[in-house]
Amino acid sequence: QARRIFARATRSRSSMPADLARASTTDLLAELKRRMESPPKKNIILVGPPGSGKGTQAPLIKDKYKLCHLATGDLLRAAVAAGTEMGKAAKEVMEKGGLVSDEIVIGIIKDNISTPDCGNGFILDGFPRTVVQAEKLDGMLTSEGVGHIDHVIEFKVPDATLVERICGRLIHPASGRSYHEKFHPPKVAGKDDETGEPLVKRKDDNEETLTKRLDAFHKQTKPVVDYYAKQGLYSPVDADRKADSVSATIAAILAK
């Protein structure tokens, strides 16, 4: 009876184990319980400009749904440091001052989604940025048999708000601690709370540079958003609110 229940429960989740007949009833029931209690697999793409709150929400989504968080910039650096096949290819291109190809980036994503950490699905952050990349990503997911994209969530914040958020940022270089002139000021102006050392502004954290980056982001992102919207996967989120309100909206989207 346990084997029949296990067989029915696993048909939609994975192929039948070859040694099913030799497994004990206790082991079968334990595996069945584990699989039935696991959260449904979710593959999510987060879209949003700098300062939109992705960095706050991604870890919360990751922990709640037991997903892996794949930020392409971090993945590239990790692959280069680890000396993987794709990492070596990326390093060669970067050392020549070139742009890493879509194939290399997707290859690095493929390497990561096959790990146990991504067993329940993944959060992709920073990719895809073009429709061609989105199509190649879909093709890879299909060929690897790891499902498909389930949700594409865009963090919507007015550009003027983003400029205010980012241009007011202050950083303690040694620790990475961040402050904000308006929203999270240090106890002493211009000084780190813990060390008293000077805080700095990043060179790119100025209105002129940020306005150009936001303009480029919107032009680049719209076709990708439209691509997923046609598939019924796109959900915009008003991210110009408190973090817990944004989290509640995202939870409602992911519950669908």
Residues forming the active site: 54, 129, 169, 202, 213
Strand, helix or coil for residue 200? strand
Query: How far is 33 from 214, CA to CA, in rounded Å?
Result: 47
**C-alpha closest to that of 58 among 114, 105, 112, 122:** 122
**C-alpha closest to that of 1 among 38, 28, 33, 19:** 28
Torsion angle of C-alpha atoms 45, 49, 51, 55, degrees rounded to 10: 20
State residue 208 phi and psi, 5-degree precision. Answer: -65, -50
Strand, helix or coil for residue 23? coil
